[in-house]
């Protein structure tokens, strides 16, 4: 049993977070399966894990607790994905603010900092629900402890988190109906458990061997590095380093994998393609990572994804590279230098930015080449690949806004789990106005775009776009990711599911049967004036034509159009305008 630890230093905090990130990573897939609804949005564990993943690269963090906490919080916010990831990142931002001015902290300081984190997380949610990650955070941070040492504090917080997690089904009826505890609360509890494990001398290891916990050993060794100043970022033709692992779909033919290999090799430079019986791993430097990832989804599901802007990486390395006297800031402190960027704000400062040259611009989150083309026809120039199960990070959205040379940039999340990420990304933008139009689906986003008026003011456009979304209904046909109970009815894994306005209303075993019921149900609100049907990548040409015929038969007086959306996971996405 380790000796009681009375003070939390910056190095200790960093290593505790690393152990917590590893603990979360080990249960990531299990957390993904804790879904209230059996639609393919089982990504809570993945989103939370990717949010805290930058801690893996923070091996050189030294200094005060304030410095380390501020740096980690800043990077967590930029890598945040999904609602759960944003809430988690804001929690740690609040914790870092609780550590302001502190070289180290005692147990009472830590407890107060965690409560500061809870307040910050709650502020991000317009209508907080009890029985979620927020409840687990709040109750555990209020936990009392018997002795004034760190071990007692974290043991009591973890015990309280576990007890609170166990009763989340009693606090949130949808959890009880599905027979699960809250997934976000589970992820947070795992992080606490990993942090305590480090304090107790049994750190949770990561997937990679080597120096996992750098501050547990002696440090201070000097290493020769590259001269990053000798590189010119304008020479980087393909700026996005794109990597992913694809879990192969069943019955994938050899000719298909060969087609994927050729595609990757032609998509940019520094291309690598490897495969075995179960996975495909690709790496390529490209101008369009969304196109690469969209193509990858044709061959299976994405197990891991990493997209990095190499121009940003170069800037970061150049800032960190030592000068002649071994100090980067001194080496770059000439009289003509611009204002110094505080260490706590460097991550935000790395966002790419093009100077505005027009009044308006648009950023849309999309999956599928056909849907992307439809948004492009409506005037969208910048796209972020993502949607259900593939939530983009705040950093990706902020970069896309920065790459949009407009004074006002409207962000269309097109998914309910991306809206909160978009709102946080908008707050990171300083050189232009970023306005989030809270589109919960592709049809809502398109309806908003059609309401845009280039001669109206930003506020007038925002109001009109939001109002237009009220006149569209969204229907989706997908499949159940696992067994569950929905609206009191059992649903089996693999069944076809029909959703209207994001609510499961029908489940069956046949695609056409489900499509018929869902299309018919859209008429409950009256005859639509226009129908748009986006066929997914797994829909055959014959099935798509049958969907078009069925729509014309049900609504002979309604104008309708069938488009090849190319979206994964969803057989059909249908927009009904009224």
- In this predicted structure, what is the pLDDT of residue 345? 33
- Read off the pLDDT band of 567 (50, 70, 90): very high
- pTM over 0.85? The answer is no
Mean per-residue pLDDT, 530-548? 95
Residue 213 has pLDDT above 70, yes or no: no
**Average confidence (pLDDT) over 433-462:** 97
How far from the centroid of its chain's Cα atoms is residue 73's Cα? Answer: 16
Report, as an integer, the average pLDDT of 532-544: 95
Q: Bigger pLDDT: 514 or 527?
A: 514
Asked whether the predicted pLDDT for residue 2 surpasses 70, the reply is no
Give the tens place of pLDDT for each residue, 217-253: 332 223 333 343 444 445 567 878 787 878 888 888 8
Which of 79, 23, 13, 33 has its CA nearest to residue 52?
Answer: 79
| CATH number, domain 234-320, options 1.10.357.10, 3.40.50.1360, 3.30.70.980, 3.30.70.20 | 3.30.70.980
pLDDT at site 477? 96
| Model pLDDT, residue 180 | 87
Q: Does domain 351-470 have CATH number 3.40.50.510?
A: yes
pLDDT exceeds cutoff 80 at 486: no
* Sequence spans of domains, the chain: 10-208, 234-320, 351-470, 472-577
pLDDT at 424: 94
Report the percentage of the chain scoring pLDDT > 90: 53
Answer CATH for 10-208 from 3.40.190.10, 3.30.70.270, 1.20.1260.10, 1.25.40.340: 1.25.40.340
The 10s digit of each residue's pLDDT in 280-321 is: 878 788 888 888 888 888 888 777 777 777 666 445 444 444
**Does the pLDDT value for residue 116 go beyond 80?**
yes
Residue 61, pLDDT score: 67
- Bigger pLDDT: 86 or 525? 86
Q: Minimum mean pLDDT among 174-188, 215-229, 344-358, 385-399: which range?
A: 215-229
Contact 352, 403 (CB under 8 A): yes
Helix (H/G/I), strand (E/B), else coil: 296: helix
d(CA 200, CA 275): 40
Domain at 472-577: CATH code: 3.30.1180.10
> Could you tell me if 264 and 252 are in contact, meaning their C-beta atoms sit under 8 angstroms apart?
no
326: DSSP letter: S
Structure tokens at 5: 């630890």
Q: Give me the residues paired with residue 573 across strands.
A: 476, 534
Higher-confidence position of 193 and 481: 193
Residues 6+ apart with CB under 8 A from 56: 18, 21, 206
Q: Of 457, 458, 416, 464, nearest to 434 (Cα)?
A: 458
Residues in the chain: 578
């Amino acid at each position: 049993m380790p000796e009681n630890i009375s003070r939390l230093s910056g190095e200790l905090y960093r290593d505790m977070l690393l152990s917590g990130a590893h603990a979360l990573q080990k249960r990531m897939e299990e957390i993904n399966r804790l879904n209230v609804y059996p639609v393919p949005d089982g990504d809570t564990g993945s989103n939370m894990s990717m949010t805290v993943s930058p801690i893996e690269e923070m091996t050189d963090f030294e200094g005060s607790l304030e410095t380390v906490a501020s740096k980690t919080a800043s990077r967590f916010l930029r890598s945040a994905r999904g609602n759960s990831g944003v809430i988690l990142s804001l929690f740690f931002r609040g914790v870092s603010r609780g550590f302001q001015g502190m070289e180290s902290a005692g147990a009472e300081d830590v407890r107060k900092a965690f409560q500061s984190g809870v307040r910050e997380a709650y502020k991000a949610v317009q209508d907080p629900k009890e029985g979620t990650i927020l409840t687990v955070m709040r109750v555990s941070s209020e936990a009392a402890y018997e002795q004034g040492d760190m071990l007692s504090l974290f043991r009591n917080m973890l015990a309280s988190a576990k007890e609170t997690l166990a009763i989340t089904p009693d606090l949130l009826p949808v959890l009880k109906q599905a027979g699960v505890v809250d997934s976000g609360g589970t992820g947070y509890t795992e992080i606490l458990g990993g942090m305590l494990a480090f304090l107790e001398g049994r750190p949770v290891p990561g997937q990679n061997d080597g120096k996992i916990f750098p501050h547990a050993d002696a440090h201070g060794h000097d290493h020769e590095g590259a001269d990053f100043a000798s590189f010119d970022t304008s020479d980087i033709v393909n700026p996005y380093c794109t990597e992913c692992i694809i879990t192969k779909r069943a019955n994938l033919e050899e000719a298909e994998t060969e087609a994927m290999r050729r595609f990757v090799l032609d998509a940019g430079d520094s291309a690598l393609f490897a495969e075995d019986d179960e996975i495909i791993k690709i790496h390529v430097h490209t101008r369009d990572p969304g196109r690469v990832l969209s193509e990858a989804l044709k061959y299976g599901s994405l197990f891991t994804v990493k997209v990095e802007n190499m121009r940003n990486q170069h800037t970061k390395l150049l800032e960190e590279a030592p000068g002649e006297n071994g100090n980067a800031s001194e080496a770059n402190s000439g009289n003509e230098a611009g204002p110094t960027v505080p260490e706590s704000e460097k991550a935000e400062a790395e966002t790419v930015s093009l100077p505005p040259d027009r009044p308006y611009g648009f950023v849309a989150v999309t999956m599928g080449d056909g849907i992307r083309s439809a948004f492009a026809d409506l005037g969208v120039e910048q796209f972020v690949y993502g949607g259900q199960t593939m939530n983009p990070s705040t950093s990706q959205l902020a970069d896309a806004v920065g790459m949009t040379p407009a004074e006002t940039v409207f962000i269309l999340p097109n998914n309910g789990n991306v809206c909160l990420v978009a709102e946080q990304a908008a707050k990171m933008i300083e050189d232009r106005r970023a306005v989030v139009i809270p589109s919960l689906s592709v049809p809502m986003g398109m309806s908003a775009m059609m309401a845009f008026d280039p001669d109206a003011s930003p506020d007038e456009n925002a109001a009109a776009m939001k109002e237009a979304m009220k006149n569209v209904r969204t229907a989706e046909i997908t499949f159940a990711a696992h067994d569950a109970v929905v609206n009191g009815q059992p649903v089996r894994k693999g069944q076809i599911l029909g959703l209207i306005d994001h609510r499961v209303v029908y489940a069956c075993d046949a695609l056409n049967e489900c499509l018929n019921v869902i299309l018919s149900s859209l008429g409950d609100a009256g005859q639509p004036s226009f129908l748009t049907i986006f066929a997914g990548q797994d829909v055959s040409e014959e099935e798509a034509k049958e969907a078009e015929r069925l729509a014309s038969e049900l609504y002979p007086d309604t104008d309708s159009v069938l488009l090849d959306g190319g979206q994964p996971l969803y057989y059909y996405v249908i927009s009904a305008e009224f």
